[in-house]
A and B are shown apart, each in its own frame.
Chain A
């Protein structure tokens, strides 16, 4: 009887230790966007819109609400700052949830080239609030192109047929002219180095 008790006790302790050893190697929840919060969209058509502007054109003006509450107009920066518009397709989707945090390491790059970054999606403010809170602190303004839906994206020609926007970058000089356009494959993250080289050309 005593022997059985001892053996069974050993078994219980063993199973507990095995459990501890297995669970300790599993990923723990971490700061940032939790992977199970991300909606998996699968592979999408790389580009699904037709540009309405080209390099050298005056950038169409717009005014959009921001997360901070005050609206931002493109004309506010005319003659003062170069502007980079970063359209991303939608909140809570895979590539976007890395692309914008990626700009967290590039703040000095923008400052060095006297440029500002404006992040734009077609999502509404409450959605952007939750998403960016989960993403962590972003140093640049986030603008909502929600109502009228995707109006700015449509004006620039980067509104996709499903109502999301392209993953697109527009570099606009202080003179208000479009210097660079990258309507990127929606499934891939644009390379920061390429954007850095375009910012250098503005100096």
Chain B
């Protein structure tokens, strides 16, 4: 007990670390992220979206590991879910914030529509003027690879020499500017 008390001062530091990248299951998460990094995503049909991601329009698929961006903001949603419909405006604002700050080369935003077809995502994109690429996930394979159960979820990933790393998962980003500030500070950008 005495020994425990003597090292108690370490706990605040550990707690701060855990706040961003949950400390448990790190090994499992690394495996999952390695699989996610090579999961095929369909190359966007719209040229502006392929250009935005800087992926080859002639290749049918790309992988997240292929992207040059240092930061990936992935909004996982279901276009029919009212929570997701209400959340999308803040994600649109996040995209605008990234552009306004001139970070669009280093930070990319994409959406994954769980259980949604391309047809439904087109309706969603038009209805909410979504400027970033949306990817259908009718089979829910992407959702499973991303390791989320409920929607909406924002997953922030960082590309590093060690591959994809999880920065943050949250249900709502709140204020897009503050959220971006926090993430940029955390990753040192």
| Residue B85 interfacial (CB < 8 Å) | yes
Residues in chain A near residue B170, CB distance under 8 A: 24-25
**Set A98, A99, A107: member contacting B127, Cβ < 8 A:** A107
Q: How far is B86's CA from A126's CA once the two chains are assembled, in angstroms?
A: 25
Question: Does B22 count as interface, using CB distance less than 8 angstroms?
Answer: yes
Determine whether the beta carbon of A136 is less than 8 Å from that of B85. yes
Q: Which residues of B contact A4 (CB under 8 A)?
A: 5
**Is B106 in the interface zone, CB < 8 Å from A?**
no
Please report whether the interface of chain B is mostly helix, strand, loop or mixed according to DSSP.
helix
Complex CA distance for A176 and B98, rounded to whole angstroms: 51
| Interchain CA distance A47-B80 in the complex, whole Å | 23
Can you list 6 A-B pairs, Cβ within 8 angstroms, ordered by A? A7-B6, A97-B82, A98-B80, A105-B85, A105-B123, A193-B120
Q: Find out whether the CB atom of B126 lies under 8 angstroms from the CB atom of A108.
A: yes
Interface residue B124 (Cβ < 8 Å from any Cβ of A): yes
Contact flags A96-134 to B (C-beta < 8 A → 1, else 0): 011101101111110000000000000000000000000
Verify A98–B78 contact, CB threshold 8 A: yes
Interface residues of B (CB under 8 A from A): 5-6, 8-9, 11-12, 14-16, 18-19, 22, 78-83, 85-87, 117, 119-120, 123-124, 126-128, 150, 169-172
For residue B118, which residue of chain A has the nearest CB? A193
Contact with B along A10-23 (1 / 0, CB 8 A): 11011101101100
Given contacts A11-B5, A98-B81, A104-B127, contact A136 B117 (CB under 8 A): no
The reply to whether B171 and A27 form a contact with Cβ atoms under 8 Å apart is yes
Whether B82 pairs with A101 at a CB distance below 8 angstroms is yes
A-side interface residues, number (CB < 8 Å): 38
Residues in A neighbouring B119, C-beta threshold 8 A: 192-193, 196
Contact partner of B15 (CB less than 8 A), chosen from A14, A32, A33, is: A14
Contact B5 A31 (CB under 8 A): no
Indicate if A189 sits at the interface (CB-CB under 8 A).
Answer: yes
Q: Does A44 touch B at the CB level, under 8 Å?
A: no
A36 contacts partner chain B, Cβ-Cβ < 8 Å: no
B2's nearest neighbour on chain A, judged by CB, is A7
Would you give the 0/1 interface string for A28-60, flagging 1 where the beta carbon is closer than 8 Å to chain B? 101111000000000000000000000000000
